[in-house]
Structure 1
Amino acid sequence: MKRLAELMSLRGRRALITGGMGHIATAMAETLAEMGADLVLVDLDQARLDVLSERLTTSHGVDILPIRCDLEDEGDRFAAVAAVKADGATLDILINNAAFVGTSGLQGWAEPFDGQSLATWRRALEVNLTAVFHLSQAFTPLLKASGHGTIINIGSIYGEVGPDWALYADTTMANPAAYGVSKAGVLQFTRWLATTVAPDIRVNAISPGGVARDQPEKFVSRYRERTPLRRMATEDDFRGAIAYLASDMSAYVTGQVLRVDGGWGVW
């Protein structure tokens, strides 16, 4: 029987995280580096990627490859794939975390349903769903060859349930259709891919609940009341989930969606 420390160790493995500068992604990168994994961090901001990479290398002694990539751009995605393959190293873990969340100032996004635009819908699906398909397909040969291949997709509770609009009353917050629909697609792609690339690669998803990010107090108060654990998530809440799914602790787990939502989805 293997010791728990052996099952948890990621020494000699490499993980790629898209949206690498996001709040949850940074927590995941810290977690996997602490477990010994080398990392490929993909995001738009090269300068911030370089800073994070240097910090993780210094604190954990792992190798980091930072890659600037606009996941909305197919050419950028192809270039990122080529950059990962160029050094001849393995890829053992792919974490499709990046998401198009828009801003309140983006035309056709934070609008009532009749004001949500086709152009913004297409942009969201390109990043949130098409890029997940593209990178999973492109890295499948490397993941199969690794002997420990695993894909972890980051979904959302809004890929599983509809929004409770009472939470948003009297705020400027939004819940666009494209976000929930694209995340639902990610979760179904997880199940589809799990049976398609087995037994060589495991494919699972994490479905986060709402994360505390300085939202209006009235929203936060309503959200807490709606959630069995009576709070919003923090980034640390996702560290255990990613450690479990990325490592051999979940070696017999595939095709699953792990909700990290404080119980939101059990109502």
Structure 2
Amino acid sequence: MKKIKELMDLSGRTALVTGGAGYIGHAFCDALAENGANVAVLDIDGLRAEETADAVASEYGVKTMGLGVDLADTPAVVAVPAKVAEALGGLDILVNCAGFVGTSKLSGWVTEFEEQSVDTWRAALETNLTAPFALIQAATPLLRASGHGSVVNIGSTYGVVGPDMSLYEGTAMGNPAAYGASKGGLTQLTRWLATVLGPDNIRVNCISPGGVARGQDPKFVERYVTRTPLKRMGTEEDMKGALLYLASDLSAYVTGQNLLVDGGWTAW
């Protein structure tokens, strides 16, 4: 029987993390590299992707690469797995972390439902749902060849439950319909793929984070913390263990699951 250290060891494996230059994405890259994986960092900001890849390589002594890709560009997206395999020797782990969260200049995002834009809805679904579908599809031959392929999609508590809009009153924050719908779709895609790709020894799971502290309006933070059983918002560090569990052989008999890392938010 293998020891825990052996089950969590990712030496010789290669991971691709979308949104890898972001807060949670960078933490994921660190967790994977710390346990021996080579890491490809994909981000819409190519310079930040390369900087993150360089930092991870320097810190953990693994092979890395940075890729600047817009997830709305489907031809560019589907070309990524082959590029990663060519540069790093294969692809064993795919983490779909990138998300459309309102940083776009498109209008009709954080506003009343009647004013939410169909164009922005489509943009959110393109990044949060269509791009993971296309990327997983393109990566499937490599994940199958791996023999222990693992896909980890990053959802959200708002893909599981509806929003409490009172949290946002008196702030510039909001909770658009497209965000929850796209994350809910990603969670269901996870289940669908788990059953279809299971015979190929490819596991597909989801992590759904709750709110992560990042300098939000104090009124929102106070309300959020009050409503959370653990009485705090999450941190990027809180997500690392969940990712390592699902990416490694620690979860070799786990597929089709959605792990909520939310301080108990959805337990009420």
Shorter-chain TM range is over 0.9
Letter of the structure 2 residue corresponding to residue 209 of structure 1? G
Could you tell me whether the CA contact under 8 Å between 2:64 and 2:88 is conserved in 1?
no
Could you tell me whether the CA contact under 8 Å between 1:104 and 1:110 is conserved in 2?
no
**Deviation by residue 1:24-44 (Cα, 9 ceiling, x = unmatched):** 111010010000000111111
CA distance in structure 2 between the partners assigned to 1:207 and 1:27 by the alignment: 15
Letter of the structure 2 residue corresponding to residue 89 of structure 1? G
User: Does residue 239 of the first structure (1) align with residue 233 of the second (2)?
Assistant: no
Q: Which residue of 2 aligns with 1:17?
A: 17
Aligned partner of residue 198 in structure 1, secondary structure: helix
CA distance in structure 2 between the partners assigned to 1:246 and 1:156 by the alignment: 18
Report how far residue 79 of structure 1 moved.
Answer: 3.3
Q: 1:214 to 1:84 in 2, by over 3 A?
A: same
CA distance in structure 2 between the partners assigned to 1:198 and 1:91 by the alignment: 17
Could you tell me whether the CA contact under 8 Å between 2:63 and 2:88 is conserved in 1?
no
Q: Which residue of 2 aligns with 1:265?
A: 266
Aligned partner of residue 263 in structure 2, secondary structure: coil
Within-5 A mapping of 1:129-144: 129-144=129-144
Letter of the structure 1 residue corresponding to residue 66 of structure 2? P
Report how far residue 216 of structure 1 moved.
Answer: 0.7
Pick which of 52-61 and 153-162 moved more. Answer: 52-61
Q: 1:140 to 1:74 in 2, by over 3 A?
A: same
| TM-score, scaled to structure 2 | 0.97
Within-5 A mapping of 1:104-253: 106-199=106-199, 200-253=201-254
Report how far residue 48 of structure 1 moved.
Answer: 1.5
Equivalent residues, number: 267
Could you tell me whether the CA contact under 8 Å between 1:16 and 1:41 is conserved in 2?
yes
Aligned partner of residue 259 in structure 1, secondary structure: strand
Q: Which residue of 1 aligns with 2:76?
A: 76
Q: 1:223 to 1:101 in 2, by over 3 A?
A: same
CA distance in structure 1 between the partners assigned to 2:128 and 2:18 by the alignment: 11
Within-5 A mapping of 1:89-100: 89-100=89-100
CA distance in structure 2 between the partners assigned to 1:45 and 1:18 by the alignment: 11
RMSD: 1.2
Report how far residue 76 of structure 1 moved.
Answer: 2.0
Could you tell me whether the CA contact under 8 Å between 1:103 and 1:109 is conserved in 2?
no
**Deviation by residue 1:136-195 (Cα, 9 ceiling, x = unmatched):** 111011001001101000000000000001101111101000000000000000001000
Q: Which residue of 2 aligns with 1:30?
A: 30
Q: 1:156 to 1:228 in 2, by over 3 A?
A: same
Q: Which residue of 2 aligns with 1:61?
A: 61
Could you tell me whether the CA contact under 8 Å between 2:47 and 2:68 is conserved in 1?
no
CA distance in structure 1 between the partners assigned to 2:103 and 2:113 by the alignment: 16
CA distance in structure 2 between the partners assigned to 1:239 and 1:205 by the alignment: 13
Aligned partner of residue 42 in structure 2, secondary structure: strand
User: Does residue 41 of the first structure (1) align with residue 41 of the second (2)?
Assistant: yes
